Copies of this chain bind each other. A is one copy, B any other.
Amino acid sequence: MERTYSISELAAEFDITPRTIRHYEAEGLIAPDRDGQRRIYSARDRVRLALVLRGKRLGFSLAEAREIIDLYAAPHGEVGQLRTLLGKLDAKRAMLEDKRRDLDAAIANMDRYAERCRERLGDLEAATREAAE
């Protein structure tokens, strides 16, 4: 038997509220088992939740996140299914790469700017030392 989780356990672990997790369920992102009324989360549910949250951090909407995550649960039975799945994976990968280009540019930009600031700081400090002589 694999480990399971209550909603408040997962909420605490990922620093979100139970309401948020229920909302993700209402949006079709997670589908936990039930023990009567109570939700029971499996390890796989937990992984999906982590994927949702990572998607959010990367700026995806819940709908976009679901599109991506659902690919990981798509049927693999037939050759045709596998082909279309691979096509979709390729498209999503391209989106992620676009984001990486944006991100790398933003970081490089900031690094160049910080470097110029450090140079200027060095100049100012040198001038201050001279003035102190």
A67-115 at interface with B (beta carbon < 8 Å): 71-72, 76, 78-79, 82-83, 85-86, 89-90, 92-93, 96-100, 102-107, 110-111, 113-114
A interface with B by C-beta (< 8 Å): 54-60, 71-72, 76, 78-79, 82-83, 85-86, 89-90, 92-93, 96-100, 102-107, 110-111, 113-114, 117-118, 120-121, 124-125, 128
Question: What is the total number of copies of this protein in its complex?
Answer: 2
CA distance A86 to B107 in the complex (A): 14
Question: A58 and B89 in contact (CB under 8 A), knowing A97-B107, A110-B96, A125-B79?
Answer: no
Q: Within the complex, which residue of B58, B90, B128 is in contact with A59, where a contact is CB–CB below 8 Å? A: B58
| Extra 10 A-B pairs, beta carbons < 8 Å, given A54-B105, A71-B113, A93-B114 | A54-B106, A57-B59, A58-B99, A79-B121, A82-B121, A85-B117, A89-B110, A89-B113, A89-B117, A96-B106
CA distance A76 to B100 in the complex (A): 30
How far apart are A122's CB and chain B's nearest CB, in angstroms? Answer: 10
CA distance A56 to B58 in the complex (A): 10
Smallest CB-CB separation from A54: which chain B residue?
B102
Cβ of A99 and Cβ of B103 under 8 Å apart? Answer: yes
Q: Within the complex, which residue of B78, B93, B102 is in contact with A110, where a contact is CB–CB below 8 Å? A: B93
